[in-house]
Amino acid sequence: MAAGAKVHVTGKYFTEGCDDQGKGGSSAPLQDQPVTFTQNGQVTTLSEVDSVDGGIDVTVTVPGTASRGPANLQLGYSSIAALIVT
């Protein structure tokens, strides 16, 4: 993907706590989740989003200053996707 390209990012299960035991109940959606772009050790925050019913759906732009090569896009504090800037 090119520098300056728009990227559609989605995720689910962005809630407080976890229901590993299947006991049910509702969890509060996480707020202020960062969407970051990392390349060559430099981290750029592209957006901060709130989950709605545990889901996140946002479009961000790869920095125009991104150089060719590998980079990571991270949603929240765990979901990381590798990408190649062309």
The pTM score is 0.86
d(CA 60, CA 54): 19
Give the pLDDT of residue 21.
64
Within 13 Å of residue 8, how many CA atoms lie on the same side as its CB? Answer: 1
Strand runs (DSSP E) across the chain, as ranges? Answer: 6-11, 33-39, 42-49, 56-61, 69-75, 79-85
Please choose, from the candidates 65, 79, 73, the residue with its C-alpha nearest in 3D space to the C-alpha of residue 45: 73
- What 3-state DSSP class applies to 10? strand
Indicate the residue type of 18. Answer: C
Listed as ranges, residues in the chain with pLDDT below 50 are none
Give the pLDDT of residue 36.
97
Give the pLDDT of residue 41.
96
